[in-house]
Amino acid sequence: MARSNKAAIVLCLDVGFTMSSSAPGEESSLEQAKKIMMKFVQRQVFAESKDEVAVILFGTDGTRNDLASGDQYQNITVHRSLMLPDFDLLEDIQDVIKPGSEKADFLDAIIVCMDLLQKETVGKKYEKRHIELFTDLNSPVSEDQLEIIIANLKKTGISLQIFLPFPMDVDDGGGDVSASVHSHMHRNSFPKNGLTEQQKEGIDVVRKLMHTLDEGGGLEEIYTFRESLERLSMFKKIERRPMAWPCQLTIGSNLSIRIVAYKSVTEEKVKKIWTVVDAKTLRKDDVQRETVYCLNDDDETEVQKDDTIQGFRYGSDIVPFSKEDEEQMKYKTEGKCFSVLGFSRSSQIQQHYYMGNQVLKVFAAKDDENAAVAFSALVHALDELKAVAIVRYAYDRRCNPQIGVAFPYIKDAYECLIYVQLPYMEDLRQYIFSSLKNNKKCIPTADQLSAVDSLIDSMNLVYEDDDGETFEDLFKPSKIPNPHFQRLYQCLQHKAFHPNEPLPPIEQHLLEMLEMPCVVKERCQAPLEKVKALFPLKEVGKKKEEKTAQDIFKDKLALERLLPHPALQYVRGFYINVEVGVLN
């Protein structure tokens, strides 16, 4: 049975009265925490995630949890049990969750979260169980059960992340922050005169808890509200499970290797779940759609659908083409196919020939030792010979075959073939342009070549250190989300909560996504000015001068003889007013 890849997540929010307090003009810690939760849930909803989310509040006026008895686990409320996130949860976080007037121990809240995860995941398969705690640590905390909490978290495999309104490296003495976070001070709602004694005690407990859970990286699971908002500013991409495509790689009629292929690159499409609804009731059932076929005559005589047939326009005629004809016309194959037609030098395959809407990674079939040995030999032979395989590819018997190229790809962890579709004759666009070398006016000078070289160097997107070793990639397209998707999700989320309001402006970070990196923009200014000076632009077009009739017909008397009526006349497509002499 396939292992489930969904997670069970509990969002544990401190709503105690200290969370809602803030300095004038600043946002309260509660509002910041709710924003983070909103961003997180939005990402889950639009990514169509299978993760289930629960919400537990502590510091509430009332108590509702299974562990509450006497004075134990008071002011802790299970607001929502584990279920798929939806717009109802978003509305709850935005409008229903309100600040409380009590305080509760955040360690007690963690225990309630663990209890919920234990009970509500029984008999279900989850790859991960996780707690996210949002608090300002300004409530009394008891360490009596700290060791038990740590032991149970380790035993059950439940992970924990903690989100605070201030960085962990706040100077306990003077209340200043370290240089690395000093610039964030105005964005965080912790007191400018330092932390309270309760918060200092809370920080010590958090340090002990997280360090004991993971000595190496436990403290890395503590985040500030601000950095969390920045990380969650992008909507999460839709999660796709890898779909295996098993097939036989054939070379001739006697050699066959079991393979399996996966989509490595493919264009992501927006899943448009648009539907027509009644404008007043917003109900789909209130609208019915009917298609009626009518003759193009005066009476618009209705024609039954069974009496229609599709036609193909061929020149000025319509050629009737039924569904049966269309089925018979289709290219028939025996089934899925990945057949090697021959081999070629890799240098013969031009990069601008790559086409199609996907790239496949092809591996040897799993748990087939013979296939693995044969496939590995093929990949390494192609790599050593700098050759590629030309392949006929058909997804299944219903699909038209493609011609493509499979080239070797060898990494430390795996080896495979990369398949890319190649064009047919009709797909190529051949254009012939005159050579720039034959035109002396187009030959650049040495200074011009040097200036362009400098410009290219200044716009290098790979930052290298003095030794020439790659240090940082300044622009990673594979890490940039599609701005169209981000904007769509932003607008859908806004309309869900504010149906009668106009759409919000595009967020600045979306506009900056595809801009030139700032460091490159600064670096290329001087080379750009030099290029501008060495390649001056001159206006070569001449303005069309206004011509009069007298310019065209120098002799007015001769003109009048040609035009018996000296009023407005029409000559060769122009109206000419003889008296004024202006060509209109």
Of 2, 85, 8, residue with least CA distance to 39? 85
CA angle 60, 61, 63 (to 5 degrees): 75
Q: At what angle do helices 146-156 and 197-213 cross, to 10 degrees?
A: 40
The pLDDT profile of the chain, 584 residues, written as one tens digit per residue, is 344 678 999 999 999 989 988 778 788 999 999 988 988 888 888 777 889 999 999 999 999 999 999 889 999 999 999 999 988 898 899 889 999 989 999 999 999 999 999 999 988 888 899 999 999 999 889 888 899 999 999 999 999 999 999 887 644 444 443 333 333 333 444 444 478 889 889 999 998 898 888 765 566 788 888 877 767 665 555 556 678 999 999 999 889 999 999 999 888 777 666 677 777 777 777 788 888 888 888 888 888 888 888 888 878 888 888 888 888 887 777 789 999 999 999 999 998 899 998 999 999 999 899 999 999 999 999 999 999 999 999 998 888 899 999 999 999 999 999 999 999 999 988 888 887 777 777 888 899 999 999 999 999 888 776 666 656 778 887 777 788 878 887 888 788 778 888 998 888 877 887 888 888 899 999 999 999 999 988 887 766 666 666 666 555 555 555 555 544 444 444 544 544 444 44
Compute the distance between CA of residue 404 and CA of residue 424 in angstroms, rounded to an integer.
10
Residue with tokens 């663990």: 114
Terminal-residue alpha carbon distance, the chain? 84
Compute the distance between CA of residue 526 and CA of residue 458 in angstroms, rounded to an integer.
9
Which H or E run contains 163?
Answer: strand 158-164
Q: At what angle do helices 446-458 and 525-534 cross, to 10 degrees?
A: 160
Amino acid identity for residue 284 in this structure: K
Alpha helix (H) residue ranges in 101-234 = 106-120, 146-156, 197-213, 225-231
Return the structure tokens found at 193: 């005169």
User: Residue 330 class from Cβ within 10 Å (0-12 exposed, 13-18 middle, 19+ buried)?
Assistant: exposed
Q: What is the DSSP letter of 93?
A: I
Partnered with residue 340 across adjacent β-strands are 251, 391
Partnered with residue 293 across adjacent β-strands are 303
CB atoms inside a 10 Å sphere around CB 362 = 25
Q: Sign of torsion, CA 507 136 59 23?
A: negative
pTM of the predicted protein model: 0.62
Q: What is the DSSP string of 340-408?
A: EEEEEEGGGS-GGG-EEEEEEEEEEPTT-HHHHHHHHHHHHHHHHHTEEEEEEEESSTTSPPEEEEEEE
Contact 107, 145 (CB under 8 A): yes
